[in-house]
Amino acid sequence: MLESAIQTKIKKKLEKEGWEVIKLIRTSMVGIPDLMALKEGRIKFIEVKQTIGILSEIQKIRIKQLREKGFEVLIWTDYEKNYEK
């Protein structure tokens, strides 16, 4: 399944749970996760990968930076699977 299809699936499921989901494209920060979800004062970032996907070094750095600032960052191959690589 293409990453874009996985993103769409994740976005729809999160929206059903009441999250406002924003696809982050062409930001000024290289390596930022693909999606940002907002709900009741909470923010979570989601990096979407195909099952065989691997995080780039800059993605690993950005995820670490966001987590150090207290943000929840998830890496998903689909809505049900959260993984770290």
pTM score, two decimals? 0.85
3-state secondary structure of 73: strand
Query: Residue 70: which CATH number?
Result: 3.40.1350.10
DSSP string, 30-64: TT--SEEEEETTEEEEEEE--TT----HHHHHHHH
Residue with tokens 């940002």: 36
> How many domains does the chain contain in total?
1
Task: Give me the mean pLDDT over the 42-59 stretch.
Answer: 90
Give the residue, 32 or 80, on which the prediction is more confident.
Answer: 32
Question: By residue range, what is the domain housing residue 38?
Answer: 3-82
